Amino acid sequence: MKFQDFSLKFHFIRPYFILFILAICINGLLAQSSLPSSFQRVLNVDQNVSLVLRWSLDREARLIVLNVEAQTNGYIALGLTKRGFLEGADVIILGVDNNGAPYLHDMYGVDNSTIGQDATQDWRLLSAERSAERINMTIQRVLDTCDYQDMAFNQSLIKLVWDYGNNHSIPSQLDLKGEIPVYFWDPAEYSISNVQDIQRWRISRTFRIPPRHTSYWCTIHKRGPLMRSKHHTVAMTPYFRDDESRKHVHHQLMYRCSAPPGVEPSLIFERFINHPGEECYVKDEIQLPSVLCREVVHSWGLGGEGAILPDDLGIPVGDTLNEYYMLESHYDNPEVRSDLVVENGVDFQSTPHLRPTDSGIIFVGHGILGTFVMPPKTASFEVVGQCSSQCTKQMLPVTGMQIRAASLHSHLAGRKMRLRHFRGNRELPWIIYNDNIDFAHQQMRNLPTPRTVLPGDHLVLHCDYDNTWKNDSTISGFSTRDEMCMSFLLVDKRLPYTYCGSEYKVESTMSRFGIRNMTWELERHQRVVNSAVNQSIVGLTVSEVVGNFSAWSQQEKDELEREQMYGALAYVGLQLEALSGNILQIPVLPQANPTRQSLVSPGTLSTVRFPSVEVVYTPPTCNRPESGGNGTISNPMTNLRPNFLRTFRLG
């Protein structure tokens, strides 16, 4: 062969040769990408078929890569839903057939048993392997496809459902095998596997729940283990003796108790160790020194798991030889049983090896005793709780604080929540949000990136409710049929404040509905009218008054919503040093445990209004892939491979 002929032939085959070599390289990398170490999160889904889901997010490129591994001779079906129902679900069917050929179908739920083909196929296959009866497949998609038949991957909760079959025919119907709530957006949980000299200890109580729907019960406890020096608590897990105990506890909080300066803590708290406890709120006769127990060290909500702190943070413990805590538990007893005996509490894990930073937990939201009201049969109604610039100036050092994790808390009517962040005349990106609130799944969530809040910043917690599922109105309160608008923030400071919020003034609610006086009825956990302009409402609960007030046109609902959001709200702040200092001179103290007549939150001292800004934050919109036509995605290896691969284009 002449050299010229060879050159011509090589010139002709060179593009194909390059593509061949490139394909070999990329296929090798794709095979590597299925290794568990390549992925940020792992979820064991179903033991019956050893179904494991792994994933990684690139939040800047707005891509997600999913790895599916299972022991199966047929297909795997994954459904992404809001409420766990197949209807409207974003469904993925995938597998590797008997000839080794992979298949991947983007589907959607037509109804609660039937699925159909999505008009656009937005998932892309990156790799597929089959060994005996085991498959391992890696797929990719943009986080938000703009396709109404797809579920967006964002900070909101997703209910994962699944099914599997013993053949490779694409099913038209599914029989769902289960449901798991997943925050795909969140980073991996931290680990304490390398923490040395961990000391495990528990605070718990056995309690007979009173025969009423709702009880908030508080008891004083002493730290169990002897600690002769400061330690850091690095992990906390809710403890329940059995399923019955877990079933009837809606949430629990653990507070640290602090004696006034110069006073030995045991002189105040020791005599309450064996005390049976009492209702936490709204009592005329208060026995426990709960005003001195206000520093939150643990918060847990229904459906949540334990919390492991970031590697550089620890909640201080062991500062004093005698250390005391108060356990607050919200018990639900919908059947009003008198034979319910439960045991619940918290398991702590602490180490003497101190981490760089003391951390703490602060409350931001609407005051627990403020009276916001929501008319009946309302599909969307917003309430806010504000941590004002005035409060952050007082509570924060010059360097501010970093929020590392957050828990959002509401009751049965909660649908959407977001914590907004204002600085100067502009709004910054939301700190955390969830547009799919699930009453039964409330978790302390790690933030992908710490968020710094500076003195003078203004935080607003937005809560959106839907009470169309019940026939009466909704008011703020303790029962799960009433509502709360709360967040608990894990921060990188042990701050002198534990509470920064606001509440709609009780006087404003009373004036609007012609109420002259009302008191608290413990059995129903409701405010009851005992004097009014219109005598016909005397004896009714505030919820009943709101429900009977009018036919509630949409205009009236909107006006009430605006007033409660943008009107003058009462600022609520609790300063720990003030409470544990010269307490007789502190104006907060008389309100720290409200009586049946006061009915306002502790620390209600001034007013706050919604911030006025020039620039409002707009969250990222959905994004189609680069080609725009059929969902082809450039650079499927983003977030899994080194940066030099970012020059490749596939598809």
Q: Which CATH architecture has domain 196-357?
A: Sandwich (2.60)
Distance of alpha carbon 237 from alpha carbon 304, whole angstroms:
9
Q: Coil, strand or helix: which one is 343?
A: strand
Confidence at residue 523, expressed as pLDDT on a 0 to 100 scale = 78
Q: In this structure, are residues 416 and 402 in contact, taking their beta carbons and an 8 Å threshold?
A: no
CATH of 359-506+557-611, one of 2.30.110.10, 2.130.10.10, 3.30.450.20, 2.60.120.230: 2.60.120.230
Judging by beta carbons within 10 Å of its beta carbon (0-12, 13-18, 19+), is residue 29 exposed, middle or buried?
middle
Q: Write the CA distances from 431 to 154, 419, 552, integer angstroms.
A: 13, 6, 34
**Structure tokens given for 534:** 């219109």
Low-confidence ranges of the chain (pLDDT < 50): 1-4, 6-36, 582-600, 626-651
Q: Helices (H) and strands (E) in the chain — how many of each? A: 9, 37
| Residue 580: Cβ within 10 Å count | 21
Q: What is the pLDDT of residues 372-404, one digit of tens each?
A: 999 999 999 999 999 999 999 999 999 999 999
What confidence score (pLDDT) does residue 526 get?
85
Any idea where the domains of the chain sit in the sequence? 36-186+628-647, 196-357, 359-506+557-611
CA torsion sign, 221 to 227 to 228 to 229?
Answer: negative
By CB atoms closer than 10 A (0-12, 13-18, 19+), residue 274 is exposed
**AA letter at 267:** L
For domain 36-186+628-647, the CATH class is mainly beta
Give the pLDDT confidence score for residue 13 in this predicted structure.
46
Instruction: For the full predicted model, state whether its pTM sits above 0.75.
Output: yes
Q: What is residue 571's predicted lDDT score, i.e. its pLDDT?
A: 85
Q: In CATH terms, are 196-357 and 359-506+557-611 the same topology?
A: yes
Beta sheet of 51-58, edge-to-edge order: 41-46, 51-58, 63-71, 134-142, 124-131
Rounded CA separation 251/363 (Å): 15
Q: What local confidence, expressed as pLDDT, does residue 580 receive?
A: 53
**Consecutive H or E run containing 564:** helix 554-566
